[in-house]
Amino acid sequence: MNAIPWHELVICIPLLGFFWIRAKASRDARSVCLAFAGITLALACGLYLGGLQSPAGSFEGWFGWNLIHIDQFSAPLIPLTALIYFVTLLATVGHKTQQFPFAGALVSESLTLGTLSTDTTWWMILLVSLSVVPMWFELKARGCSTRVYEIHQATFVGCLILGGCLSERSGAPALNLSVVLLTLAVLVRSGAFPFHLWRIDMFEKASFGSSILMVSPMLGAYLCMRLVLPTEPEWALHAISFLSLATSVYASGMALVQNDGRRFFCYLFLSHSSLVLVGLELATPIGLTAALCMWLSVGLALTSYGITLRCIEARVGRIDLNRYYGLYSHMPTMAAFFLLTGLASVGFPCTIGFIAGELLIESAMNFSPWIGWIVVLATALNGIAVMRAYFRIFTGTKHPTTIPMHSQFEERFAIVGLSLLILAGGLYPQPEVESSYQAAIHLLEDYHRAGDHGLKKEGSVIGPAAEASPAEASPVRRVH
Amino acid sequence: MSSVLSCLAAIVLGCPILTLLILGFCGLIQRPLPERLVDRLTKFHVAMGLVATLGILGIMIGTNHPMEVLDLGNFVEIGQEHFHFHLEFIFDRLSIPMVLMTFVLVGVIGSFANIYLQGDAGYYRFFVCFSMFLVGLLFAFLAGTIETLFLGWELVGLSSALLIAYFHERRSPVENGLRVWGIYRVADAAFLMAALMMHHWTDQGEFLRMVNDQPWPQGTSHLDPLASLSVGLLLLIAAAGKSGLVPFSGWLPRAMEGPTPSSAVFYGALSIHLGAYLLLRLAPIFADSFVVRGLMFGLGALTAIYAAMTARVQTDIKSALAFSSVCQVGIIVMEIALGFWYLALVHIIGHAFLRSLQLLRAPTLLRDYRTLENAIGGRLANGQPAWIARMANHRQIQWYQFALERGYMDSMIDQALLKPFRKLFKAFERMENDWLRWLESAKGSGSMKKTIRQDWL
């Protein structure tokens, strides 16, 4: 068993699936895609829960690089991402299969998992830069304008590469410029205000499923943790914090006035992912714990919410939130899950988001009461937006139709599975919080160490916080 | 807490949770229980809860213990950071009467609803929300920590909004449900901030620790004046939102869109007193803060006067009863501010029972009036107070209009908050659309005109 490079397999299996679909020109791309995504998920879960280790030297022997690096921070993100891909693909049924790029989704999954499995700067930059390509192909294939997407992604990739180059040079001006560029890259990828337009554009033009897959793994936040945070001076942390806070409130306000269902979801996601960034930028043990918990809760709850919205869209067309649909009598289960997942995302009690929200507000309050206030405001607005969407879609009128609108087994399975995780995480949150806290502590330890080696700039707020970390054996699972 | 008491406390909390889980799970898997079974399950668990609460009360009286604490430990804990979400439930002079009242009223109104909604398409949905409401209330009333109270507070808010929108195939109940949910979110935000500020300043969320382990209503806290004022103001906003005090009173008549049983249990009896309960529970903490107590008294007085005026001119019975309830809650808040805490507790219980009865009788009001008039052999008096009669005619009309329009409170909130908010974000949306258009056409691509965006806009 130990001779098998498990981590590399998790990354390569979706890629194999892509080649399979291409080589066989399989007509049933969905089944093939689902099989490969399922195997990837099973392996990722096995690695996370069972602690399967890759043998030493699997990649190092080939390239001389230590490409795979999974620590407590990225360990839960890998099965989470695999799960997001699997359930989204599973819920792609009916006429959605005609438009959905299954092969592209597998490439995207492979690149995303690869990004999450490494902390080697150039490898990460390469993978995350490539991860923007499948969506570009999809937009092209759909005959849509790709200009907005291109402008933003070119800025992102350009800043990332330039920032990466400059970070290797010595001298304060080059390093400062590198920080600015990397920060800009993170902000563009995360869709922070005012760099969020590509997300709206993408949600409107691409398939809903692909758009969910593009945003749900939150690679912008991951880049922030890996590339920006360890070497960031205080001013840059404050800049990201400020923009993330502004984005969270702005996006929650925008979600509240949207008439288009996809735009609504896009803003809702933006608001929550910005809250994750806020937690990360607080750079305190509890702030990082909150961010990591929120990462999981947003990933699960909003993916599930997006899938539900997508199922509804598949039945009634693009959702106009300016009118009432009254779908409750046709799909009561879907209504219940829509409400449950929406409320979970805004931190309703007994759901996975509750403790994450509490932790985030607590850490924000400890940092500054004003940040706490803004986070609470954003959460309150998101809560109203979620309920508004529920009422508009499921109530307000009788939906006259003779076509059966009930959900299909695959859709139900995907949503029920995620909902169970959401409830389980809400009713028994201690393991998740404990694991996130350990990850936070070790991240801060790493940064503290980086600071000791002169990799961190003066004035960083990360250093002192790390002093609280307990002296434990390193949980980093490094592949040599 | 002894093992017998622990068992009884577990029954008090466990039975309603079990009902909610059974009803919720069967609903989610699309296998709703038959109406008769729902009725029996609800009645059984409410009866069990009531008996268990009486048992706890009996033991407490017998052993002369004014307070029993059920400590379930930490729900979440990060020891190194002193973060913990503690689950603790207090059975004391304040919570036991409230819980007894809750079980009695929920039992009675549940039985009423079983007949009232029999055969209705939303029967099952009603009882799911109803059991969620009961769980929320019990968590709120028995909470020993501010976080547990918040948990119950949120459950009550959600079930309340969903029950207002019970007749969900009509727009009006749904719009009102959303409006109430919006106000509840404001109240929740204020509550959450107050809870966190208390944590921040006192480093604890347990009510007992805050008042030096003294049973209610004894003990005082040592919050400094500024902290006390900040937390007190936030809690006042939270209570005002939940109990429909000024300036949030406008939501209460809107909430009457729900079925009569839910109106009775939520806005006549239990939910409306939740804000007052919060103030009552935390009253010892603010006992020394005259500013907070002064503000509380002012808010209560303003609400009572406003609601008394408004209730007199309402043209439908449920709205009139709603404003009468608000008036009484205003008076209760005044009593809390003056330090008459036992009086406030008795007032809450008396008012809840009376108002529930009135709301349940509301659908047969005309019949009751006729019966009454037949009994007394004449018309019921419909006079106006002497001080109004002495007012100039145009003043009377002005005040009448003011009361009829419910103090223009809803329209003030609309004009001052909602419309500018919507206008602002719609302007942002337009700017974004313009920006997107500009980005798309920036390099003069001929295919731009074919894009979805232009169709969209």
Residue A375 is predicted with a pLDDT of 92
| Pairwise CA distance, residues A305 & A287, whole Å | 25
Binary contact (A369, B171; C-beta < 8 A):
no
User: Beta partners for B325?
Assistant: none
**Among A163, A161, A156, CA closest to A192:** A156
Distance to chain B for A375, nearest Cα, Å: 10
User: Beta partners for B88?
Assistant: B71
* Nearest residue in chain A measured CA to CA from B190: A376
B275-307, pLDDT tens digit by residue?
A: 999 999 988 888 888 899 999 999 999 999 999
The CA-based diameter of chain B, rounded to the nearest angstrom, is: 88
- Number of cross-chain residue pairs from A and B with Cβ atoms under 8 Å apart: 158
Q: Which portions of chain A are predicted below pLDDT 70?
A: 1-3, 25-27, 51-66, 232, 450-480
Residue B8 is predicted with a pLDDT of 92
A273, exposed or middle or buried, with CB in 10 Å at 0-12, 13-18, 19+? buried
Selected residue of B26, B76, B154 to mutate for chain A interface (largest A Cβ count, 10 A): B76
Query: Is the confidence at residue B190, as pLDDT, over 70?
Result: yes
Q: Which segments of B6-164 are extended strands (E)?
A: 67-78, 83-92
Tell me what percent of the residues of chain B surpass a pLDDT of 70: 96
Binary contact (B154, A349; C-beta < 8 A):
yes
| pTM score, whole prediction | 0.90
Each domain of chain B, given as residue ranges in start order, spans 3-365, 417-456
Average pLDDT (B241-248) is: 90
CA dihedral sign of residues A152, A195, A252, A344: positive
CB-nearest partner of B193 from A254, A376, A468:
A376
- Beta strands B67-78; A477-478: pairing state: unpaired
What residues of chain B lie within 8 A of the CB of A143, using their CB? 450
B109-147, pLDDT tens digit by residue?
A: 999 999 999 988 889 999 999 999 999 999 999 999 888
Distance to chain B for A73, nearest Cα, Å: 17
What b-and-e string marks burial along B125-144, b requiring 16 or more CB atoms within 10 Å of the CB?
Answer: bbbbbbbbbbbbbbbbbbbb
* Nearest residue in chain B measured CA to CA from A383: B185
Distance to chain B for A414, nearest Cα, Å: 14
| Pairwise CA distance, residues B287 & B281, whole Å | 11
Distance to chain A for B85, nearest Cα, Å: 9
CB-nearest partner of B182 from A148, A384, A398:
A384
Contacts of B354 (CB under 8 A, 6+ apart): none
What residues of chain A lie within 8 A of the CB of B442, using their CB? 147, 151
CB-nearest partner of B76 from A147, A355, A395:
A355
B74, exposed or middle or buried, with CB in 10 Å at 0-12, 13-18, 19+? middle
Residue count of chain B, please give it: 457
Average pLDDT (B57-86) is: 87
- The mean of the pLDDT values for chain B is 87
* Nearest residue in chain B measured CA to CA from A376: B189
**Among B143, B243, B145, CA closest to B195:** B145
| Pairwise CA distance, residues A29 & A32, whole Å | 5
User: Which one-letter amino acid corresponds to residue B212?
Assistant: N
Distance to chain A for B173, nearest Cα, Å: 8
Q: Dihedrals φ, ψ of A146, to 5°?
A: -110, 5
Residue A374 is predicted with a pLDDT of 92
Contacts of A35 (CB under 8 A, 6+ apart): A17
Binary contact (B428, A397; C-beta < 8 A):
no
Binary contact (A254, B428; C-beta < 8 A):
yes
Selected residue of B178, B428, B434, B450 to mutate for chain A interface (largest A Cβ count, 10 A): B178
| Pairwise CA distance, residues A108 & A207, whole Å | 14
Contacts of A370 (CB under 8 A, 6+ apart): none
Query: Is the confidence at residue B450, as pLDDT, over 80?
Result: no
Selected residue of A257, A352, A363 to mutate for chain B interface (largest B Cβ count, 10 A): A257
Binary contact (A433, B436; C-beta < 8 A):
no
**Among A56, A44, A57, A59, CA closest to A13:** A44
Q: Which segments of B54-187 are extended strands (E)?
A: 67-78, 83-92
**Lowest mean pLDDT segment, chosen from A363-377, B200-214, B231-245:** B200-214
Distance to chain A for B347, nearest Cα, Å: 31
Residue A471 is predicted with a pLDDT of 36
| Pairwise CA distance, residues B333 & B286, whole Å | 13
| Pairwise CA distance, residues A211 & A145, whole Å | 16
Cβ A148 vs Cβ A194: under 8 Å = no
Question: Do the interacting molecules here have an ipTM over 0.85?
Answer: yes
CB-nearest partner of A148 from B75, B161, B439:
B439
Residue A477 is predicted with a pLDDT of 33
Q: What is the 3-state secondary structure (H, E, C) of A425-441?
A: HHHCCHHHHHHHHHHHH
Binary contact (B189, A380; C-beta < 8 A):
yes
Binary contact (B196, A144; C-beta < 8 A):
no
